[in-house]
Amino acid sequence: MKKNLLLVTLLLFPIFIYGELFLEITKGSEDPYKVAMIPFEGNTGIAKQLNNIMRNDLIRTGEFSILDEELLLPVKIINDELVYNDWKLLGIDYLVTGTIVRANNSLDINYEIFDIHKKRKVRSSKVFGIPNQIRQLAHYTSDGIYESITGIKGIAATRLLYVNETKDSKLISTYKLMIADSDGANEKVLLSSSEPIISPSWSPDGKRAAYVSFENGMAQVFIQEIATRKRKLVLKKDTQISSPSWSPDGKYLSLTLYQDGNAEIYILRLRDQTLTRMTNQFAIDTESSWSPKGNKILFTSGRSGSPQIYELDLRKLNSKAKRISFEGTYNAKASYLPNEDGIIFVHRSSDGLFHIALKYKKENFIRILTEAKMDESPSVAPNGNMVIYGIKEENLSMLAGFSLSGAKFKLPASDGEVREPAWSNFLR
């Protein structure tokens, strides 16, 4: 018994840092801003890495077409004014320059953005950081540049949770809960287990993760602190619990409990473990997801005979769940867009294939956004402009993503398969 316990403990102990998910951009958006980025100057050791990260961040958004470095002109400044015409001839919309300032305890980036059409500087900004946070600093800078030009908040400085599965020579699986930067870099293992892990979910402050682990012989929900790796069962019960979703204030977790032998949705107040039951009917109710304003939840219910999306208003007593998906025989795993004007979910089309779909609240039709066969687990970026999800290509599961403007990217695993991505909120 002790020996077995030790084995189990070792398996659960998070191991070393991994490598990187390789991010592959397969398509840009159709109407990109043409941006020229002059490599930021200063501290050459760090500069190259910073410049690469920033450049890749912006390309990844799909909204920018970044001029090739060889085509960059020397920046001509005459009497303190940037000479714009040369850039105009290249068809550039914006020029970005900057400097990296390294001091003893600080690493700061100054950047400036010039609007070539308007012929003036439109942004001058500084990002403060510390020397061992190069990647983060670069991401914050790219987000600043992205937001200055598009008006949309950038997601380069956000993170992803996902599950990695590898098989040994005897085809025995090891499951790992992973965390990485939104570009797949900086992968770390939060949990390694011989039992499946599913449904990772970020706390709104980005400090904790909730997920389902089968390590105790059945589905149970754990909460783990990312910084300390400390974890605990969210609720000690002899029944199966799954499908965790955090309320936007971080105080509640909606869950699926199987205590009646049937999947039903409950809300757990974390502070005192009070459970409130939200659904009570014969069919399956699961996959709950909170609205960004915290007053509604979406969930999947089989009560109409097949999985469909329902919405429950939490402010009303005895509120009745309202069905909101009507097209097709399988609609599940819905989540709100950040401004709540629509939902993203998994839809099975009439040919039996599963796709990621979008439905705007004010419209009564759905838009299919992906084209593979078994797309699943969509998670919306906090700026509402990108979605990451799971695909299966040649029998290998990997992550893929797209922007609403049509850019596409893929994130295959460096080893084994990856799935079940969850996109964090904006992080500070």
Partner 1 sequence: MIANYRYLQASLFSFCIHAAIFMYIYGTFDANTSKTLLISKPLQVELKFELPSKDLKKQIPILPNINTTPSKQVSEDIVYSKAEDEIKTPQNNALMESTIANLLSEESEIEINNEQQEISMYAQKIISTIENAWMKPRNIPEGLVANLRLKIRSSGRITSAELIKSSGNIRFDNSALQAVRRVETFYFFDSIPKMLYDKEFKVIAISFNPS
Partner 2 sequence: MNKSINSFIALLTIFIFSACSSVQITEEAVADQSVAGVSIASKSTSTQAVLANAIVYFEYDQYNLTAKSIQALKGVSDLMKRNAKITISIEGHADERGTREYNLALGQRRAESVSNYLIANGINGNRLITKSYGEERPLSLGSNNSAWAKNRRVEIK
- β strands within 258-395, DSSP E: 264-269, 274-277, 285-290, 296-301, 308-313, 322-323, 331-336, 342-348, 354-360, 367-368, 376-380, 386-393
* Minimum distance of partner 1 from residue 30's CB (angstroms): 6
Distance CA 295, CA 9 (A): 40
Helix (H), strand (E) at residue 180: strand 173-181
Interacting stretch for partner 2, rule CB under 8 A, among 78-86, 145-153, 211-219, 266-274?
211-219
One-letter amino acid for residue 199 of the chain: S
Question: Which of 163, 147, 263 has the alpha carbon at shortest distance from 213?
Answer: 163
Which tokens hold the place of 187?
Answer: 């992968």
* Minimum distance of partner 2 from residue 118's CB (angstroms): 48
* Minimum distance of partner 1 from residue 174's CB (angstroms): 38
Distance CA 200, CA 226 (A): 12
243: contact with partner 2 by CB under 8 A: yes
User: 402 burial class (0-12, 13-18, 19+ CB within 10 angstroms)?
Assistant: buried
196: contact with partner 2 by CB under 8 A: yes
Do residues 159 and 173 make contact, with C-beta atoms less than 8 angstroms apart?
no
Percent helix, strand, coil in the chain, to 5, is: 15, 45, 45
Q: How crowded is residue 186: how many other Cβ atoms within 10 Å of its Cβ?
A: 17
Nearer to partner 1, 24 or 341 (CB): 341
* Minimum distance of partner 1 from residue 250's CB (angstroms): 25
Task: Tell me the number of residues near partner 1 by CB under 8 A.
Answer: 27
User: Taking CB under 8 A as the rule, which mask of x and - marks residues 26-65 in contact with partner 1?
Assistant: ---xxx-x--------------------------------
284 contacts which partner out of partner 2, partner 1, none, CB within 5 to 8 A by kind?
partner 2
* Minimum distance of partner 1 from residue 385's CB (angstroms): 8
CA angle 57, 63, 68 (to 5 degrees): 65
150 contacts which partner out of partner 1, partner 2, none, CB within 5 to 8 A by kind?
partner 1
Q: In the range 310-349, which residues lie near partner 1 by CB under 8 A?
A: 341-342
Positions that interact with partner 1 (CB under 8 A): 29-31, 33, 93, 115, 117, 122-123, 147-152, 341-342, 358, 360, 362-363, 367, 369, 385, 404-406
Positions that interact with partner 2 (CB under 8 A): 1, 3-5, 7-8, 170-172, 194-196, 198-199, 214-219, 238, 240, 242-243, 256, 258, 261-263, 284, 286-287, 300, 302, 306-307, 330, 332-333, 346, 348, 354, 373-374, 376-377, 392, 395, 420
